[in-house]
Amino acid sequence: MIRAFEPSDMEDVLELWLEASAGAHDFVGREFWESKVDDMRNRYLPAAETHVFVQGGRVRGFVSLQGDTLAALFVSPAFQGRGLGRRLMDRVKRLRDRLELTVYRENQRAVRFYRRCGFAVVGERTDPHTGHAEVLMEYGPGGTVPALPGG
Protein backbone atom coordinates (compact mmCIF):
# COMPACT_ATOMS: atom_id res chain seq x y z
CA MET A 1 0.00 0.00 0.00
CA ILE A 2 1.25 3.48 -0.86
CA ARG A 3 0.24 6.29 1.47
CA ALA A 4 1.42 9.69 2.65
CA PHE A 5 4.42 9.75 4.99
CA GLU A 6 3.55 10.00 8.67
CA PRO A 7 5.90 11.10 11.48
CA SER A 8 5.83 7.53 12.86
CA ASP A 9 7.49 6.39 9.58
CA MET A 10 10.63 8.44 10.22
CA GLU A 11 12.90 5.74 11.66
CA ASP A 12 11.90 3.15 9.03
CA VAL A 13 12.49 5.68 6.24
CA LEU A 14 15.88 6.73 7.62
CA GLU A 15 17.04 3.13 8.04
CA LEU A 16 15.89 2.25 4.52
CA TRP A 17 17.47 5.40 3.07
CA LEU A 18 20.84 4.70 4.71
CA GLU A 19 20.98 1.06 3.62
CA ALA A 20 19.80 1.75 0.06
CA SER A 21 22.06 4.81 -0.33
CA ALA A 22 25.15 3.01 0.92
CA GLY A 23 24.41 0.04 -1.34
CA ALA A 24 23.60 1.96 -4.51
CA HIS A 25 26.37 4.51 -4.02
CA ASP A 26 29.23 2.42 -2.68
CA PHE A 27 31.59 4.58 -4.75
CA VAL A 28 30.89 7.44 -2.31
CA GLY A 29 31.45 5.54 0.95
CA ARG A 30 29.08 4.64 3.77
CA GLU A 31 30.57 7.26 6.11
CA PHE A 32 29.26 10.04 3.87
CA TRP A 33 25.70 8.68 4.03
CA GLU A 34 25.91 8.13 7.78
CA SER A 35 26.93 11.78 8.18
CA LYS A 36 23.72 12.85 6.36
CA VAL A 37 21.14 10.99 8.50
CA ASP A 38 20.48 14.00 10.76
CA ASP A 39 20.04 16.27 7.72
CA MET A 40 17.52 13.80 6.30
CA ARG A 41 15.64 13.70 9.61
CA ASN A 42 15.66 17.42 10.38
CA ARG A 43 15.80 19.17 7.00
CA TYR A 44 15.09 17.13 3.90
CA LEU A 45 12.19 14.88 4.90
CA PRO A 46 10.25 17.62 6.73
CA ALA A 47 10.56 19.89 3.65
CA ALA A 48 9.46 17.20 1.18
CA GLU A 49 6.19 15.66 0.08
CA THR A 50 6.89 12.00 0.82
CA HIS A 51 4.91 8.85 0.06
CA VAL A 52 5.74 5.46 1.51
CA PHE A 53 5.16 1.90 0.34
CA VAL A 54 4.18 -0.18 3.38
CA GLN A 55 4.16 -3.96 3.44
CA GLY A 56 4.02 -6.19 6.50
CA GLY A 57 3.74 -3.13 8.73
CA ARG A 58 7.12 -1.75 7.59
CA VAL A 59 8.15 0.89 5.09
CA ARG A 60 9.69 -0.96 2.13
CA GLY A 61 10.13 2.05 -0.17
CA PHE A 62 9.57 5.78 -0.35
CA VAL A 63 9.54 8.65 -2.78
CA SER A 64 10.03 12.35 -1.95
CA LEU A 65 9.16 15.40 -4.00
CA GLN A 66 10.28 18.99 -3.58
CA GLY A 67 8.10 20.88 -6.02
CA ASP A 68 8.68 19.23 -9.41
CA THR A 69 11.97 17.71 -8.28
CA LEU A 70 12.06 14.00 -7.57
CA ALA A 71 14.36 14.36 -4.57
CA ALA A 72 14.45 10.68 -3.55
CA LEU A 73 13.16 7.29 -4.63
CA PHE A 74 14.44 4.38 -2.58
CA VAL A 75 13.38 0.77 -2.16
CA SER A 76 14.72 -1.51 0.55
CA PRO A 77 17.50 -3.63 -0.99
CA ALA A 78 15.66 -6.82 0.06
CA PHE A 79 12.58 -5.69 -1.90
CA GLN A 80 14.22 -4.37 -5.07
CA GLY A 81 13.26 -5.93 -8.39
CA ARG A 82 9.64 -6.51 -7.34
CA GLY A 83 8.01 -3.47 -8.97
CA LEU A 84 7.90 -1.26 -5.87
CA GLY A 85 10.00 1.47 -7.48
CA ARG A 86 7.73 1.51 -10.53
CA ARG A 87 4.65 1.78 -8.31
CA LEU A 88 6.16 4.70 -6.40
CA MET A 89 7.11 6.36 -9.71
CA ASP A 90 3.59 5.89 -11.05
CA ARG A 91 2.28 7.62 -7.92
CA VAL A 92 4.40 10.74 -8.42
CA LYS A 93 3.64 10.86 -12.15
CA ARG A 94 -0.04 11.13 -11.22
CA LEU A 95 0.81 14.02 -8.90
CA ARG A 96 3.07 16.01 -11.27
CA ASP A 97 2.97 16.68 -15.02
CA ARG A 98 6.69 17.36 -15.10
CA LEU A 99 9.54 15.93 -13.03
CA GLU A 100 13.26 16.49 -12.85
CA LEU A 101 15.94 14.64 -10.92
CA THR A 102 19.65 14.11 -10.52
CA VAL A 103 21.28 10.71 -10.18
CA TYR A 104 24.92 9.73 -9.91
CA ARG A 105 26.24 8.74 -13.32
CA GLU A 106 27.94 5.74 -11.70
CA ASN A 107 24.55 4.45 -10.55
CA GLN A 108 23.70 2.99 -13.96
CA ARG A 109 20.98 0.75 -12.54
CA ALA A 110 19.06 3.85 -11.45
CA VAL A 111 19.75 5.69 -14.72
CA ARG A 112 18.31 2.72 -16.65
CA PHE A 113 15.28 2.60 -14.33
CA TYR A 114 14.55 6.29 -14.89
CA ARG A 115 14.92 5.89 -18.66
CA ARG A 116 12.41 3.02 -18.59
CA CYS A 117 10.08 5.35 -16.68
CA GLY A 118 10.24 7.91 -19.51
CA PHE A 119 12.99 10.24 -18.26
CA ALA A 120 15.68 11.55 -20.58
CA VAL A 121 19.16 12.83 -19.84
CA VAL A 122 19.31 16.60 -20.30
CA GLY A 123 22.68 17.41 -18.78
CA GLU A 124 25.43 16.63 -16.30
CA ARG A 125 27.05 18.32 -13.34
CA THR A 126 29.42 17.52 -10.50
CA ASP A 127 27.98 17.00 -7.03
CA PRO A 128 29.79 19.59 -4.90
CA HIS A 129 29.57 17.36 -1.80
CA THR A 130 31.09 14.19 -3.26
CA GLY A 131 32.88 15.29 -6.43
CA HIS A 132 31.06 12.61 -8.44
CA ALA A 133 29.28 13.28 -11.73
CA GLU A 134 25.49 13.53 -11.65
CA VAL A 135 23.14 13.07 -14.59
CA LEU A 136 20.26 15.55 -14.89
CA MET A 137 17.06 13.92 -16.12
CA GLU A 138 13.58 15.21 -16.97
CA TYR A 139 10.14 13.79 -17.59
CA GLY A 140 7.53 15.92 -19.34
CA PRO A 141 3.79 16.14 -19.93
CA GLY A 142 2.08 13.14 -21.45
CA GLY A 143 5.10 10.93 -20.90
CA THR A 144 7.30 12.96 -23.22
CA VAL A 145 10.57 14.64 -22.53
CA PRO A 146 10.52 18.44 -22.74
CA ALA A 147 12.48 20.03 -25.57
CA LEU A 148 15.81 21.56 -24.66
CA PRO A 149 16.05 25.33 -25.16
CA GLY A 150 17.50 26.24 -28.53
CA GLY A 151 17.31 22.80 -29.91
Q: Does domain 2-143 have CATH number 3.30.365.10?
A: no
Query: Nearest to residue 63, comparing CAs of 38, 30, 32, 96?
Result: 96
pLDDT at 137: 98
Say whether pLDDT at 151 is over 60.
Answer: no
Mean pLDDT of 141-151: 48
pTM score of the predicted model: 0.88
At 19-56, the pLDDT tens digits run: 999 988 989 988 999 999 999 999 999 999 999 999 99
For 11, list phi and psi in degrees, rounded to 5: -65, -40
Say whether pLDDT at 143 is over 50.
Answer: no
At 54-102, the pLDDT tens digits run: 999 999 999 999 999 999 999 999 999 999 999 999 999 999 999 999 9
pLDDT at 150: 41
Calculate the CA dihedral of residues 61, 63, 64, 67 and round it to 10 degrees: -170
Cβ atoms of 98 and 92 closer than 8 Å:
no
Cα-to-chain-centroid distance, residue 58: 19
pLDDT at 26: 86
Q: Which residues lie below 8 Å from residue 140, measured CB to CB, with a gap of 6+?
A: 97, 98, 146
